[in-house]
Amino acid sequence: MLPQDNTRDNLRMPAAVIHCPNCGAELRCASRGAGTGPGGKPGCPYDGLAYASLRAGHDALYFGAWRGIDASPMEVRRAYHRIGRHLAAIGQALTGQDLPAAERDLARAVEAHQAADPSEESPDSLRFMDNALSFAHRVIDDLLHERGLPPHQPMDFSEWYDRVDVPFRDEW
């Protein structure tokens, strides 16, 4: 969010990085007071939600700098590795569960992730990374559905992230 400060020509405020003490999610709070809990302490929007760390991990990637048109190659490589760690965490959550659809979606996510290797500088790397993240989202929704819960909606948590525009969507 941009501050309404005419003396600074509406410069962007730096995001505060916090870690949720309950789910461990790394959150970036761009606006003052957003997500502030009782006593002025930062709260976590994922607290009390099923698969909180998977949701937070997904959203951190979904709203990540790598998805911007101006993303640097370093941001893309960093996101590629974060997606790999996110997929591993999802795999851990699936361990011991009998969810064939979720397992298929995870396999598709891993396949897309492997095809995306940004070190090869393929023009399709970003598309494959986006596909891996989309399949990961489907797995999270499969896990939530198994518990009788509604699907995860990343836009419900957008105020916690710097980038809420999701470029490239219409181009793929």
* Residue 58 pLDDT grade (very low, low, confident, very high; cuts 50, 70, 90): very high
Tell me the average pLDDT across 70-81: 90
Q: Copy the structure tokens of residue 32.
A: 């003052």
- When computed from its CA atoms, the radius of gyration of the chain, rounded to whole angstroms, is 17
Measured from the Cβ of residue 29, the count of other Cβ atoms closer than 10 Å reads 22
Residue pLDDT, tens place only, 121-162: 777 888 999 999 999 999 999 999 999 999 999 888 877 776
* Cα-Cα end-to-end distance for the chain: 27
Average pLDDT, the chain: 77
Residue pLDDT, tens place only, 14-34: 455 656 655 556 655 544 444
The answer to whether the beta carbons of residues 2 and 10 sit under 8 Å apart is yes
Q: Copy the structure tokens of residue 131.
A: 């596909």
pTM of the model: 0.74
The answer to whether the beta carbons of residues 95 and 58 sit under 8 Å apart is no
Say what the pLDDT of residue 19 is: 61
Tell me the average pLDDT across 55-79: 88
CA dist 161 and 1 (Å) reads 9
Residue 46 clears pLDDT 80, i.e. is over it: yes
Question: What backbone torsions phi and psi does residue 155 show, to the nearest 5 degrees?
Answer: -65, -20
CA dist 79 and 126 (Å) reads 10
Residue pLDDT, tens place only, 1-18: 333 333 333 333 345 565
